[in-house]
């Protein structure tokens, strides 16, 4: 297709993106019913990277039909839990063998540094599949002693079964394209569901390449269907589809609310992992040698495009200048550039739209009286780069303090005592994550109890593990992904009761 890519690109990736990518329906790679394709861009250059089949309602209908048939009639439901687990483990092995290639795909499609994609995104996805492979054989019900008062003398055997919810629609974002696919697919497959996955239109490539590995691993046809396309068309059709039993969504709170409405038609189950404006609280008794770089990485990791980014930095007054200047210094030193450059520490934002959104927030903050002591502008003359930015002179009521920016922009504010900081930290519609930096473990755990967030990090930030549940309080979402908690999202309980005497 004459696509502009850098000369050092991985040969298998070059081959993969050279042809328009198709969608995976019922075990076959097919074009969109409409024949349409859409472009995906290299955010480091703004040039077209690849063309991808554009799924719409008709393709979603076909994919849901395949998933429904695979769930109701296919070999998948007759497999043992051990066989399911082994398939997931095999997928993890295949993915691990292709770490280099997936690193390139993520870097090209999303913009993130290749080295980070290879060190974080791909291994975390591999580990998630392995963790979930282990759960396949450990999904158990209970036996329940009954004391039915109106049948004196009768005896019953009662137990529960944990059964898969059925056909699951999964809609994922662009910030961790492969990892979000793994977070969604892993538990769905471990529990025996079938899936229609819609990757984000900005970053569909790694999910499509994963589709190849899913087929290579030997999953029966129709168990995983992957339909790239836009949110308003393919995504909306999936969320509203009457034959879908559950929808799992990660993305903006705004679209999360649309998903809830769309799901109402057949009352499908809904789980949501949405936005955040997470407080990162540094006390004067913290080890500042770790708190300062930790607070910088809390916001700048993945260019701030993390739902759990530590985007509100609260620092106890007596160390405020030292910490905030330290974070600003770290921001100024970050090497911004193309993700394929081995020296790059921060790549471009994912899209022009996202760059403009973040720059809009910078303008709003500066015009409301905030001051940028690092960054504050778009960077470079091509591609979607924004400077790592630290805003000071910020007030709680400002837009930049209240709203999710989803870019490399932190707002810093001082506080005077722990009593004051809890209500301020909790003063948000969101409740995804929070962090506390202190050497006082009693204070740290009292804070952890009082912070209204699904994850609280103490003296660390952005630590993820397949075994640790993740999700939101308040408008940051419904349900928990990862850990054994996620199994609740993909199973439902059946009570079975037998009279035995």
Q: Which residues are catalytic?
A: 273, 307
Strand order in the sheet with 156-164: 143-144, 156-164, 491-499
Q: Is 251 near ligand NAI (CB under 6 A)?
A: yes
User: Smaller CB distance to ligand NAI: residue 245 or 404?
Assistant: 404
Reported as type and span, the H/E element at residue 106 is: helix 99-110
* Structure tokens given for 56: 């719409």
Q: Is 239 near ligand NAI (CB under 6 A)?
A: yes
- Residue 217 CB, shortest distance to ligand NAI, in Å, is 24
The pattern of x and - marking residues 390 through 429 that bind ligand NAI according to CB under 6 A reads --------------x-x-----------------------
Stretch that binds ligand NAI, among 116-124, 168-176, 332-340, 443-451 (CB under 6 A): 168-176
User: Smaller CB distance to ligand NAI: residue 195 or 330?
Assistant: 195
Q: Residue 62: how many CB atoms within 10 A of its CB?
A: 19
Stretch that binds ligand NAI, among 105-113, 208-216, 248-256, 445-453 (CB under 6 A): 248-256
According to CB under 6 A, which residues from 70 to 99 bind ligand NAI? none
Q: Which residues contact 108 (CB under 8 A, 6 or more apart)?
A: 5, 9, 13, 17, 42, 49, 205, 339, 340
Shortest-Cβ-distance residue relative to ligand NAI: 231
The answer to whether 245 and 217 are in contact (CB under 8 A) is: no
Q: 344: phi > 0 → left, psi -120 to 50 → alpha, else beta; which? A: beta
Q: Is 478 near ligand NAI (CB under 6 A)?
A: no
- Residue 84 CB, shortest distance to ligand NAI, in Å, is 26
State phi, psi for 279 to the nearest 5 degrees: -80, 140
Q: Is 258 near ligand NAI (CB under 6 A)?
A: yes
Among 173, 211, 365, 376, binds ligand NAI (CB under 6 A): 173
Stretch that binds ligand NAI, among 87-95, 152-160, 167-175, 214-222 (CB under 6 A): 167-175
| Residue 446: burial class (beta carbons within 10 Å; 0-12, 13-18, 19+) | middle
Q: Is 113 near ligand NAI (CB under 6 A)?
A: no
Q: Is 252 near ligand NAI (CB under 6 A)?
A: yes
> Which of 51, 72, 71 has the alpha carbon at shortest distance from 196?
71
- Secondary structure string (H, E, C) spanning 202-239: CCCHHHHHHHHHHHHHCCCCCCEEECCECHHHHHHHHH
Among 187, 192, 228, 275, binds ligand NAI (CB under 6 A): 275
Q: Is 54 near ligand NAI (CB under 6 A)?
A: no
Q: Is 255 near ligand NAI (CB under 6 A)?
A: yes
User: Smaller CB distance to ligand NAI: residue 171 or 330?
Assistant: 171
- Residue 404 CB, shortest distance to ligand NAI, in Å, is 4
Stretch that binds ligand NAI, among 153-161, 270-278, 415-423, 458-466 (CB under 6 A): 270-278
CA 119-293-470 angle, to 5 degrees, is 55
* Structure tokens given for 210: 């994963």
The answer to whether 365 and 375 are in contact (CB under 8 A) is: no
Q: Is 250 near ligand NAI (CB under 6 A)?
A: yes
* Structure tokens given for 392: 């000071």
Dihedral sign for Cα 233, 234, 240, 246, please: negative
According to CB under 6 A, which residues from 181 to 220 bind ligand NAI? 198, 200-201
User: Smaller CB distance to ligand NAI: residue 114 or 236?
Assistant: 236
Q: Is 175 near ligand NAI (CB under 6 A)?
A: yes
- Residue 358 CB, shortest distance to ligand NAI, in Å, is 8
Among 66, 281, 307, 421, binds ligand NAI (CB under 6 A): 307
According to CB under 6 A, which residues from 331 to 370 bind ligand NAI? 357
Q: Give the integer Cα–Cα distance in Å for 411 and 278.
A: 11
DSSP one-letter string for 152-219: TT--EEEEEEEEE--EEEEE--SSSHHHHHHHHHHHHHHHT-EEEEE--TT--HHHHHHHHHHHHHTP
Q: Is 304 near ligand NAI (CB under 6 A)?
A: no
The answer to whether 424 and 451 are in contact (CB under 8 A) is: no
Size of the site for ligand NAI (CB under 6 A): 26
- Radius of gyration, alpha carbons of the chain: 24
- As a whole number of Å, the end-to-end CA separation of the chain is 73
Q: Is 310 near ligand NAI (CB under 6 A)?
A: no
User: Smaller CB distance to ligand NAI: residue 162 or 357?
Assistant: 357
Q: Which residues bind ligand NAI (CB under 6 A)?
A: 171-173, 175, 198, 200-201, 230-232, 235-236, 239, 250-252, 255, 258-259, 273-275, 307, 357, 404, 406
């Amino acid at each position: 297709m004459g696509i502009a890519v850098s000369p050092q690109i991985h040969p298998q990736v070059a081959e993969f993106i050279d042809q328009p990518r198709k969608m995976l329906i019922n075990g076959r790679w097919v074009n969109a019913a409409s024949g349409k394709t859409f472009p995906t861009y290299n955010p480091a250059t703004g040039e077209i990277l690849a063309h991808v089949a554009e799924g719409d309602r008709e393709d979603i209908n076909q994919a849901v039909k395949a998933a429904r048939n695979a769930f109701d009639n296919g070999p998948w439901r007759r497999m043992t839990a051990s066989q399911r687990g082994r398939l997931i483990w095999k997928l993890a092995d295949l993915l691990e063998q292709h770490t280099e290639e997936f690193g390139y795909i993520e870097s090209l499609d999303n913009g993130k540094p290749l080295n980070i994609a290879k060190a974080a995104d791909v291994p975390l996805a591999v580990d998630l599949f392995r963790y979930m492979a282990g759960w396949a054989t450990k999904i158990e019900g209970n036996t329940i002693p009954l004391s039915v008062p109106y049948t004196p003398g009768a005896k019953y055997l009662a137990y529960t079964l944990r059964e898969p919810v059925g056909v699951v629609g999964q809609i994922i974002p662009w910030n961790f394209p492969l990892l979000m696919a793994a977070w969604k697919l892993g538990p769905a497959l471990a529990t025996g569901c079938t899936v229609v996955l819609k990757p984000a239109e900005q970053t569909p490539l790694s999910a499509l390449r994963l589709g190849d590995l899913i087929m290579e691993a030997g999953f029966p046809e129709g168990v995983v269907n992957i339909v790239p396309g836009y949110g308003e068309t393919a995504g909306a059709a999936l969320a509203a589809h009457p034959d879908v039993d559950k929808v799992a969504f990660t993305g903006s709170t705004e679209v999360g609310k649309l998903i809830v409405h769309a799901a109402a038609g057949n009352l499908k189950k809904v789980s949501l992992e949405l936005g955040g404006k997470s407080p990162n609280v540094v006390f004067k008794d913290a080890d500042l040698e770790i708190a300062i770089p930790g607070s910088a990485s809390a916001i700048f990791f993945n260019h701030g495009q993390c739902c759990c980014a530590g985007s509100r930095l609260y620092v106890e007054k007596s160390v405020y200048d030292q910490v905030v200047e330290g974070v600003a210094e770290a921001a100024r030193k970050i090497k911004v550039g193309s993700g394929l450059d081995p020296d790059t520490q921060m790549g471009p934002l994912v899209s022009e739209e996202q760059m403009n959104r973040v720059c809009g927030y910078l303008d709003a903050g500066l015009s409301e009286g905030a001051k940028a002591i690092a960054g504050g502008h778009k960077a470079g003359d091509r591609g979607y780069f924004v400077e790592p930015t630290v805003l000071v002179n910020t007030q709680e009521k400002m837009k930049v303090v209240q709203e999710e920016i989803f870019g490399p922009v932190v707002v810093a504010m001082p506080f005077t005592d722990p009593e004051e900081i809890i209500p301020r930290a909790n003063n948000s519609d969101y409740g995804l994550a929070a962090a506390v930096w202190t050497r006082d473990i009693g204070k740290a755990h009292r804070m952890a109890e009082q912070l209204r967030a699904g994850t609280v990090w103490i003296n660390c930030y952005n630590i993820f593990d397949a075994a640790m549940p993740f999700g939101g309080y308040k408008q940051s979402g419904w349900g928990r992904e990862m850990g054994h908690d996620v199994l609740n999202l993909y199973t439902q309980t059946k009570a079975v009761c037998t009279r035995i005497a």
